[in-house]
Amino acid sequence: MNTYSTNYYVGRFTSEDNKLFIFMNKYYPYVTTADSYEFGNISFVENSDIKSCIDSLEYRFVDSIDAEYNIYKYLEVEQLNSLMTYEQISNLHEDEQNQMKYWKPQTIKEIIFNNWD
């Protein structure tokens, strides 16, 4: 049994030819896709159909607050692999900043979809 926790939800879709994993952060409105997943190892890929769907629906993370930052956003592989900026880090909750000091993530994907919560 796995005793680790994650800061994301994961769904798996399968067909005869493919597997597609969809990831959604538990605390922020971010969604992305992968073609393989074993706990802790995610192979992110872009899926234009899922991206188009997420971008067009404008679902809100918190429906009681009508703020633009609550609209779900599909993160592309390039965004996931980019380095965190000071501004992005300063916008995180203090607990997350403390976890970053301990785990030392470098990229956005290591913060948004991690197994150290």
Amino acid code (one letter) for 68 = E
Residue 69 has pLDDT above 90, yes or no: no
pLDDT of res. 88: 86
pLDDT digits (tens, 9 = 90+) for 35-58: 999 887 899 999 999 999 998 987
Residue-level pLDDT at 1: 38
Per-residue pLDDT at 65: 56
Q: Annotate 24-62 with b (16+ C-beta within 10 A) or e (fewer).
A: bbeebbbbbbbeebeeeebebebbeebbeebeeeeebbe
> Percent of the chain scored above 70 by pLDDT?
89
12 DSSP 8-state letter: E
